[in-house]
Structure 1
Amino acid sequence: MKLSPPMYKFWLFMMMFLIMGQLCLLMGAVSPVIFEWEITQLVSCNFVFPLLFDTYSVVFLTVVIIISSWVSFYSNTYMSGEIFISRFIWLVFFFVLSMSLLIMVPSAWAVMLGWDGLGLTSFLLVIYYQNKSSLSAGMITALTNRLGDIFLLINFSLLSGGGQWGFYYITAGCYGLALCISVAAITKSAQLPFSSWLPAAMAAPTPVSALVHSSTLVTAGVFLLFRLVHIIESSELLKYFLMYSSMCTLVMAGGCAVVENDIKKVVALSTLSQLSMMVFSLSLGLSDLAFFHMVVHALFKALLFMCVGIFIYMNGGKQDMRSIGVMWSQAPSVVACFSVSNFALCGLPFMGAFYSKDLIIESMYTFNLGVLPMMMIYIGTGLTLVYTLRLYFAMWGSTEGTPLTGMRCENTYFGGAEFAMVMSVLFCPFVVQLCVSLEENVFVNYYEKNMMWMVLITSFLFIVLVKKRELVLPYKLYHYISGMWFFQKISAQPLSSQVLNTSGKLLMSLDHGWNEIIGGRGAYKLFKMMMIMNQEFQWNLMTTKILSGLMFISCFLVWFLWFV
């Protein structure tokens, strides 16, 4: 049987997945290996191309390849109506290639290439549909990521002073490098105050969202922080900065997801809350738990986005979660896959995310964090359960507002991708646990252990009250929460309007003002006026001389005729 081009891409990805899986098992038993190829030497700087093969890079690259392969398989049907499907596939390919470069090459210039490659391809994918909302979202995404690129360029210049480009040469006392890397990482991972671009990136096609929000763009910053966690641990100020930024992001994203009705944005905000949990664990020095949670989150979030994409596909493009109540009767297998990924999101026992989130929260008790950080973590965890149950009730809820017609989901590509991702969600965490050591001996007392049960019960009662409409938020509070604490407006329209207004005033006062007067055009007018004055003066002088001559001749003729 002759395979179509999407099938060739799928089997190519699967072959890479099998190879990386074998390396993954191998790396669990051997020490990290670095291969370096020296490209050139310029003065005191060595340009080398290193490849780092250790447990973390191989495991994470394997997960990226798993998700990329099934997203490509899934896109064969979801994007079947597109005219320029080859352009879309190539953009996704370069997107994955940039992420692979960032994972496997621990060099500043290679990370910069991968970082900029992710930013450029994400911008092109967000504006793929080329309408007003997509272009606006793409501009916010590009500008926010470029802000992080500035700090990465500063880091690049600081490293060049030492003559080495490898990140593994950075020691624990480099506070300037640590600050630049941390700010660049939180812009890419959408932590406060740089969170507004992540929900805006939902303008991209759903297969892109499944890839971006699971294992590539948003996790690039977390993976960079994970690689340089020893630098973060050396600075108390930097640890507190990352901790409070992640905790505020966790509460903000959870509250916004509770009141949001766009199902795609709800899943995007859930990504934001899980990223904040990873950054929080890195700020505490729990790097292995953060990595395990990142891998597990990548798997179930890709499955969640794929299921949401099928719901939107069957619903005629509508993304309102209040209109998907009939999906359980039209696509029971998709709803089952959605339920698996949704329960993994909230940390249901025996799911992969349960082990990482439970260990992170229990390990929190071993640090003297104080009351405020612990309360924020409890609130953020409770809000995670609230919006998860809200999605679940919407899936099995009323069919009011559901369209009378819809498309059936009877496609081999959809079914195969769902089955493969469900198997990955259920069994890959076990394989990852074999490769990554999670031997965390945490001892908590009776009250600390039962505190999470109180949070869960309170969250369940809250969603029941909201479901029965016995708890209604005031309009101003609703507007504040749904607007991401006004960060969406602060980081988008006001900043851009202030910059544009300032630029307009500078344009009118300088380019169209003083520069016109003292610049080329002003000099031209001045010289032209001086030439006209000189010409008039010369013309007047000549006229005066001619008139004087004529008067002299006239007087001479009168005198001559009178006396002669």
Structure 2
Amino acid sequence: MKLMSSNLPLLVLICSGYLSIFTGSILSSAYLLEVPVWDSHCLSFSFSILADNVSMIFVGTVLVISGSVATYCKWYMASETYYNRFMGLVWLFVLSMIFMILVPNLVMLLIGWDGLGLTSFLLVAYYQNNKSLSAAMLTALTNRIGDVLVLVSISILLNEGGWLVYSYYPVSMWSGLSVVVVLAGMTKSAQMPFCAWLPAAMAAPTPVSSLVHSSTLVTAGVYLVLRSFYVVSANPLATQMLMILSLFTLVLAGSSAVFAFDLKKVIALSTLSQLSLMMFSISILLPFVAFFHLVTHAVFKALLFLGAGGVIHSNQSIQDIRGLSSLWQSLPVSMSAMSVAIVSLSGAPFMSGFYSKDLIIELSMMDSSMTYGCYMLELLGLIFTSFYSARIVFSVMLGSNYINCSTLRLFEHLNMQVPFLSLYVGAIFLGLSLGSTMEKFGYVVVLESYESLSIFLIPFVGLAMWWGVLTKLGFNPWSWTKMLSFFLSMWLVESLTSHPGKTLFFKSSLMMYQTLDQGWLELLGPQGVYAKLGQVSQLNEVVQSNYFTYQMVAWSLVTIAGLSLVVFM
């Protein structure tokens, strides 16, 4: 009873989140609250809050996940010395995301946008080791590119007489604005070529990873692009660029996850593939379907991360899936949570992920502007999703690794089970409940029977690939060292994007340090003054050490000169 009373505020927060989702699903009007801050003859600036069905549903999703993660942290981070400091950073992270969701003004939106970047840096670097610091710097520097692009967008919107960008119809917009907004969203959502930082951010504590990969940092870019849909769709070049890069990111993330051994990295790459699917949906002019998948994905991905956190925390922080096996016996609650999340992630029928994911596939098949190559890339990336999902199930849960594991059941705390239960509901029923809202936007699917059958069979094809190719035929791609290193480096994207940038940055910093700090600034600054004063001091020391000798010589010379004058006078 005491435990439930201590968690009562968080349970109220979770219930408020589901209430907000329900309210947003039936809301038919949009409300814009503006408070004037500064007004000029040709330009005005105000603090704005936009409340419509999209913002209400997304804020509710953030509240549900943040309340579940905060409850989970009471168990996962119980031994943490600076627990209150950690939770303060987490709540600041959540508030930054809520601020970004509600504020449609680009200038004020920077508070939430930059707040996400700052708090994510602090949370990723929380464990204070070299790996965490490197990952935090890569995350921060990549996101700073997006910050600069948002500033460029603000300067471009000066011609519009205002900075409202959410659900905004442009009047005299420069065509490059849509490209700038898309690139800004791609940096935050880790689309190619900015995708190297997302797996690196796994250095953060697992509850933070659950927040980052479900409803906060990585979804901020998708949310900005879909909210700026009327600006983005005005330029076909921006949508074509977004389509191509998102499809390549989808295949890249899926193929890399198939070969990864780190459990958290596999889940992170699955997040990357789902983000690229959302971006692809926006590129084919389906922003509300992308938002539908954004909400459903946030819930089951948070559930999947929390289940993985239970596995890691209960197994001496082991993250390598080759060292985990038969965990159904020891962690039944965590395994059931992961199984529900994985089934929903794979798009299995009648789960939340099925309603949103299949809607994207079906509507993309009805798009006459798409080529067969785009279809193949899309289906290949989605098949990879069920492939690595089956790999997690067979390796971690069912024990195909053939290692000796304890069969004793571990104690799963109530603070661990309550978040699972709250997210179970969303992972199973949220897609069905929000599916009726999608019908209001007039999305009608008309497909041939064979097309519908092919979509229905996608998760089962990935399962068959795992079972048939790897188990029955004995094919072992992990023995191919060169191919393994290629996929583990994400098609060498890390080497081609992040490493050259870091190398150039550090070399230029070293050159400036040697030229300026150890060069002419030192000569003209404190070191130069110190050297000159040292020389003067040495000269003074020599003079003072021979003072009496010089005085005697001087007096002798004066005496001799005086006597000479007296004699010769």
Q: TM-score, normalised by structure 1?
A: 0.88
For 1:92 and 1:24, the matched residues in 2 are separated by 25
Checking the alignment, whether the CA contact within 8 Å between 2:21 and 2:58 is kept in structure 1 is no
Residues 522 and 314 (structure 1), Cα distance of their counterparts in 2 relative to 1, 3 Å cut: closer
Which stretch shows the higher mean deviation, 57-66 or 463-472? Answer: 463-472
Residues 312 and 166 (structure 1), Cα distance of their counterparts in 2 relative to 1, 3 Å cut: same
Shift of 1:26: 4.6
Matches within 5 A, 1:102-501: 102-160=100-158, 162-168=160-166, 169=168, 171=170, 173-365=173-365, 366-394=367-395, 395-398=397-400, 400-404=402-406, 408-436=410-438, 437=440, 439-452=442-455, 459-463=462-466, 464-468=468-472, 469-472=474-477, 474-501=480-507
Question: Which residue identity does 1:362 align to in structure 2?
Answer: E
For 2:527 and 2:161, the matched residues in 1 are separated by 48
For 2:277 and 2:502, the matched residues in 1 are separated by 30
Q: Secondary structure at the match of 2:37?
A: strand
Residues 107 and 6 (structure 1), Cα distance of their counterparts in 2 relative to 1, 3 Å cut: farther
Residues 292 and 410 (structure 1), Cα distance of their counterparts in 2 relative to 1, 3 Å cut: same
For 1:377 and 1:232, the matched residues in 2 are separated by 22
Question: Which residue identity does 2:415 align to in structure 1?
Answer: Y
Shift of 1:512: 4.0
Which stretch shows the higher mean deviation, 38-47 or 260-269? Answer: 38-47
Shift of 1:62: 0.8
For 1:282 and 1:224, the matched residues in 2 are separated by 11
Shift of 1:40: 3.3
Residues 403 and 286 (structure 1), Cα distance of their counterparts in 2 relative to 1, 3 Å cut: same
For 1:108 and 1:52, the matched residues in 2 are separated by 12
For 2:253 and 2:329, the matched residues in 1 are separated by 31
For 1:180 and 1:426, the matched residues in 2 are separated by 37
Shift of 1:506: 3.6
For 2:263 and 2:14, the matched residues in 1 are separated by 30
Which stretch shows the higher mean deviation, 39-48 or 237-246? Answer: 39-48
Shift of 1:308: 0.7
Partner of 1:550: none
Matched, 1:72 2:80: no
Which stretch shows the higher mean deviation, 3-12 or 471-480? Answer: 3-12
Measured against aligned partners, the alpha-carbon deviations of 1:80-119 in whole angstroms (never above 9, x if no partner) come to 1112111121111111111111111111122110001111
Question: Which residue identity does 2:248 align to in structure 1?
Answer: C
Q: TM-score, normalised by structure 2?
A: 0.87
For 1:420 and 1:450, the matched residues in 2 are separated by 33
Residues 164 and 206 (structure 1), Cα distance of their counterparts in 2 relative to 1, 3 Å cut: same
The one of 509, 514, 517 equivalent to 1:508 is 514
Measured against aligned partners, the alpha-carbon deviations of 1:209-233 in whole angstroms (never above 9, x if no partner) come to 1111111111111111111112221
Checking the alignment, whether the CA contact within 8 Å between 1:247 and 1:280 is kept in structure 2 is yes
Shift of 1:25: 4.8
Checking the alignment, whether the CA contact within 8 Å between 1:323 and 1:403 is kept in structure 2 is no
Question: Which residue identity does 1:466 align to in structure 2?
Answer: L
Q: Secondary structure at the match of 1:330?
A: coil
For 2:16 and 2:407, the matched residues in 1 are separated by 41
For 1:523 and 1:60, the matched residues in 2 are separated by 61
Extract unaligned runs of 5+ from structure 1.
Answer: 530-555
For 2:126 and 2:5, the matched residues in 1 are separated by 21
Checking the alignment, whether the CA contact within 8 Å between 1:314 and 1:409 is kept in structure 2 is no
Shift of 1:524: 11
Partner of 2:17: 17
Q: Secondary structure at the match of 2:180?
A: helix
For 1:84 and 1:522, the matched residues in 2 are separated by 45
For 1:399 and 1:11, the matched residues in 2 are separated by 38
Q: Compute the RMSD of aligned alpha carbons.
A: 3.5
Shift of 1:456: 5.4
Question: Which residue identity does 1:231 align to in structure 2?
Answer: V
Matches within 5 A, 1:68-107: 68-107=66-105
Which stretch shows the higher mean deviation, 340-349 or 325-334? Answer: 325-334
Extract unaligned runs of 5+ from structure 2.
Answer: 536-564
Residues 445 and 506 (structure 1), Cα distance of their counterparts in 2 relative to 1, 3 Å cut: same
State the percentage of identical aligned residues: 38
Shift of 1:12: 4.6
Checking the alignment, whether the CA contact within 8 Å between 2:96 and 2:113 is kept in structure 1 is yes
For 1:17 and 1:327, the matched residues in 2 are separated by 32
Which stretch shows the higher mean deviation, 280-289 or 480-489? Answer: 480-489
Give the aligned length. 553
